Amino acid sequence: MTLSHLNDKNQPGMVDVGDKDVTRRTARAQAIVAFPPGLLEQLDRTGEHELQSRKGPVIHTAILAGIAAAKRTGELIPLCHIIPLENCTIDVQIDGSDKLIVHCSARATHKTGVEMEALTGAAVAALTIYDMCKALSHDIVISDVRLLEKSGGKRDVHEHR
């Protein structure tokens, strides 16, 4: 197996996508934010899908941060192409009494995939949740940042867990 981001001199470089076909590309990723027992109850619930910390609305802020980060993935990850996203959504679900599950979906019609955009969106949304809640505890854990599925390129990937 060879790594696509290494040239014939074994040096890093951007993959040339000039000859690839333009196709519709989609990807979905997740991150899990786990809270110490009882911590989520310390946040005000301002609705079925929102939590309020002293910094403001936790989930809405995380959604905005995740979308903004996905749009800027090419600036954050050195060898990623800048991709004009057609759509990006972040969904944050409260899972039981101690977890938030973050999903990010990204879509573009382009020559290269959007899995890094989906992963970046999910990760930054999770980091934003941590930032919004860290005054209550630094024992919040972000885990399981992973690609769930992608389509439109050489290989489709579907959740296999």
* Catalytic status, residue 21: no
- Alpha-carbon distance of 125 to 146, in angstroms, equals 13
C-alpha torsion angle, residues 118, 123, 126, 132 (rounded to 10): -120
Q: Of 19, 44, 95, 131, which one is the catalytic site residue?
A: 131
Strands lying side by side in the sheet with 56-57 = 44-47, 50-53, 56-57
* Cβ-proximal residues to 5 (8 Å cutoff; 6+ apart), any chain: 12, 13, 14, 15, 79
Please state the φ and ψ torsions of residue 27, each to the nearest 5 degrees: -155, 150
**Known catalytic residues?**
131
